[in-house]
Amino acid sequence: MWFYVILAVVLIKTSLLGLGGVSMAIALCAWLLLRLGVVAIHPSMKQGFRRLFKVAFLLHLSVYVALILKLLLIDSFDDIPAFIVGHLLLHHLMSAVIGATVIFMLIRRYFYYKGLHKSTS
């Protein structure tokens, strides 16, 4: 489990730094590792981490789709400064939202893990 926790923490850090492409690559690789079962993990924990990485990937992908759509809506050179300012606002806001979402999902996984080990011991 701790391998996936470390991957999630790195994903949170790259998301908060605004490195969307790197975050998408980490989320996709972690999701594939979970899918292949590289590290043995409890099935319910596996499902939770799979959801965490999938949500992170899809949120980053949606930000890139919004950016491309916004880029396609530029009519003239006068719209470029507004595009840059809008992109910076959208970029910072969504980076914080994605990072916070993944943090809360990771905290839920940790408390579930603690409850799982409390009931077995």
Domain range holding 21?
2-120
DSSP assignments along 33-77, one per residue: HHHHT-S---HHHHHHHHHHHHHHHHHHHHHHHHHHHHHHT--SG
Say how many domains are in the chain.
Answer: 1
Ordered per-residue pLDDT tens for the chain, 121 residues = 889 999 999 999 999 998 999 999 999 999 999 999 888 898 989 999 999 999 999 999 999 998 899 888 888 888 888 888 888 888 889 999 999 999 999 999 999 998 888 876 6
Provide the pLDDT for residue 121. 61
